[in-house]
A = this chain, B = another copy of it.
Amino acid sequence: MKKLLILVFLTLPMIAFAQTKPYLSIADAERITAAAEAKAKAEGWNVVIAILDDGGHLISLKRMDGVQIGSIDVAQAKAKSAVYFKRSTKIFEDVMKGEGGSRIATLPNAVGVEGGLPIFKDGIIVGSIGISGVTSAQDGIIAEAGVKGY
């Protein structure tokens, strides 16, 4: 019996962890969105908040009142860049501000404006958040607040 249990102990995790990956649920997305929105409201900023899954597909989007409509696509593009390249759009922004940085503009789906952050679980990418509506630095602050809410 003891041996059997040990066998189960040794075998189960192997089966369980074999080739699976974590993912964001709609509940996760709403918690992240709420955290981002709380920060936005506290600062008096109105933004679009987009949450994508690990394939770059929308789980949720929320546009606060009065936000420019251009921000709907911008928020999604930032989030897409973040999950496609597993890095903050701020990193691309910094490269683009340097010498020859315009080359980033020739990479499909890369966005060089702060406000998009990848979301990881146990080191595995599960999705991203994209914010647009205020300045890019402010968008970035809200995105960070969102990720912290995960």
- Chain A interface: which size bin? 35 or more
> Please, which residue of chain B has its CB at the minimum distance from the CB of A93?
B103
Structural contact, B26 and A65, CB atoms closer than 8 A: yes
Contacting residues of chain A (44-99) with chain B, CB-CB under 8 angstroms: 53-65, 68-70, 72-74, 77, 81, 83-86, 92-93, 96-99
Q: How many copies does the complex hold?
A: 4
Q: A22-B19, A25-B65 are in contact. Are A57 and B85 (CB under 8 A)?
A: no
Taking the closest CB of chain B, its distance from the CB of A81, in whole angstroms, is 7
Which of chain B's residues have a CB closer than 8 A to the CB of A23?
19-21
Taking the closest CB of chain B, its distance from the CB of A122, in whole angstroms, is 10
Q: Which of B6, B17, B56, B98 is close to A100, meaning CB atoms less than 8 Å apart?
A: B98
Q: Tell me if A134 counts as interface (CB < 8 A to partner B).
A: no
Which of chain B's residues have a CB closer than 8 A to the CB of A109?
70, 73-74
Selected A-B contacts with CB under 8 Å, 28 pairs? A8-B9, A9-B12, A13-B16, A16-B17, A20-B20, A26-B62, A53-B69, A55-B55, A57-B63, A57-B69, A59-B63, A60-B61, A68-B125, A69-B83, A70-B81, A70-B86, A70-B107, A73-B109, A97-B100, A98-B100, A100-B101, A101-B102, A101-B103, A102-B102, A103-B104, A105-B105, A105-B106, A107-B111
